[in-house]
């Protein structure tokens, strides 16, 4: 089992393994046992897929179960109200523990509930998707969507620990697995650590979900994120680089009516950001071709028509990273991102037409 320690906000550990065999030991190490009242929160899809895991946890913990409908459309205050009601009805108190079992939606919602219920209680995160394992489960950002704007309501709240079992990834549908690869490509661009070359050389084994490949990617991405968030926990400066590809990506997610997954949208947004980087920071044009080739190998999209520019621009203009102008993370070269780069609507329009359009 691999371990990383995050020293930002309240320190916590990330445990990375193929399976959950050592989870009971980790629970004991973190002083979580049958004497503590626990509340496992998941979605209906994860519940059906992993009943065995949930039943095993029930036997070792004093645990109540709650699940909601799977999907991004559940990432709203209605779902949060349901969780609050469940906790109150089952006598959750300040000494209780929430357990998030699921992808990024589950982790973000449970983390937000933990940060606000009784002004803050403990939670642990057991992410089950590639996207949540390489990104959203770590960093302390929790929250929900409001009025069509992603993650606009939220806070920072660190878990007691994060436990990653890469065997969960074997149960993902193809589209959901590929979703996480879009975020991994982002990591390969913001840090020049050879990950882009690794993706290009090992794409077949990655798509076949070989254990060593999955462990390499998960640990590699989390080491990058650990370094960044420890420098800028509250996302006031360098942590913005983690938003590479996300400005356009969020707009594409919304205008596609969720037909594009988050990772697919980030991959497309990354291509647009690379075109903008060529225009504004003189990024060499060969990099676009290299990234496009990797995206093709990983079965990620490289083209997408924006049908509703009004809604698209609404989403971008209301992105929480922007103020009076559109701000982008761009690249001067791979591994050297530049934050808060101003982009005009005309530059954005031409970059989209010259890349994914």
Binding-site positions for NAD(+) read 104-108, 128-129, 141, 150, 168-171
Helical (H) or strand (E) element with 271: helix 262-281
Give phi and psi for 31, each to the nearest 5: 60, 40
Q: Which of 233, 241, 148, 145 minimizes the C-alpha distance to 188?
A: 241
d(CA 206, CA 298): 8
> Looking up tokens 């991405």, which residue turns up?
221
| H-helix segments, 90-158 | 104-116, 130-131
- CB contact at 8 A, 6 and 17: no
> Looking up tokens 């770590």, which residue turns up?
138
Give Cα 323 to chain centroid, integer Å. Answer: 24
User: What tokens appear for 37 in the block?
Assistant: 């009242």
Question: 3-state class of 141 per DSSP?
Answer: strand
- Label the pairing between strands 97-102 and 37-43: parallel
Q: Which of 351, 310, 345 minimizes the C-alpha distance to 326?
A: 345
CA distances from 188 to 95, 156, 217 (A): 40, 25, 10
Question: 3-state class of 29 per DSSP?
Answer: helix
Question: 3-state class of 35 per DSSP?
Answer: coil
User: What tokens appear for 299 in the block?
Assistant: 């079965």
Residue ranges of the binding site = 104-108, 128-129, 141, 150, 168-171, 183, 246, 262
Measured N-to-C along each axis, helices 195-207 and 211-231 cross at an angle, to the nearest 10 degrees, of 140
User: What tokens appear for 98 in the block?
Assistant: 């929430």
d(CA 242, CA 317): 19
Residue 54 CB coordination number (10 Å): 18
Residue ranges of the binding site for Zn(2+) = 183, 246, 262
């Amino acid at each position: 089992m691999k371990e990383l320690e995050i020293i930002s906000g309240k320190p916590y550990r990330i445990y990375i393994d193929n399976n959950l065999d050592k989870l009971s030991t980790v629970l004991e190490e973190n002083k979580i046992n049958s004497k503590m009242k626990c509340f496992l929160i998941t979605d209906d899809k994860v519940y059906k897929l992993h009943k065995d895991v949930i039943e095993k946890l029930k036997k070792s913990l004093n645990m109540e179960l709650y699940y909601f409908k799977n999907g991004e459309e559940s990432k709203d205050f209605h779902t949060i109200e349901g969780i609050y009601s469940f906790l109150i009805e089952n006598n959750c108190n300040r000494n209780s523990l929430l357990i998030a079992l699921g992808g990024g939606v589950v982790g973000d919602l449970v983390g937000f509930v933990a940060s606000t219920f009784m002004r803050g209680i403990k939670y642990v995160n057991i992410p089950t998707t590639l996207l949540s394992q390489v990104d959203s489960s770590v960093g302390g950002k929790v929250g929900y969507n409001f009025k069509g704007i992603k993650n606009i309501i939220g806070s920072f709240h660190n878990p007691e620990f994060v436990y990653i079992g890469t065997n969960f990834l074997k149960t993902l549908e193809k589209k959901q697995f590929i979703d996480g690869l879009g975020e991994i490509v982002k990591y390969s661009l913001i840090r020049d650590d050879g990950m882009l070359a690794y993706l290009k050389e090992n794409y077949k084994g990655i798509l076949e979900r070989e254990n060593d490949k999955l462990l390499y990617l998960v640990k590699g991405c989390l080491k990058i994120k650990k370094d960044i968030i420890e420098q800028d926990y509250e996302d006031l400066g360098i942590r913005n680089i983690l938003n590479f590809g996300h400005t356009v990506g969020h707009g594409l997610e919304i205008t596609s009516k969720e037909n594009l997954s988050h990772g697919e949208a980030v991959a497309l947004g990354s291509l647009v950001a690379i075109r903008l980087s060529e225009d504004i920071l003189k990024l060499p044009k060969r990099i676009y071709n290299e990234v496009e080739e990797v995206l093709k190998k990983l079965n990620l999209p490289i083209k997408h028509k924006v049908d509703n520019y009004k809604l698209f621009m609404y989403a971008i203009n209301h992105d929480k990273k922007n103020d009076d102008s559109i701000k982008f993370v761009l690249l001067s070269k791979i591994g050297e991102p530049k934050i808060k780069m101003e982009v005009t609507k005309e530059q954005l329009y031409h970059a989209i037409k010259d890349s994914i359009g």
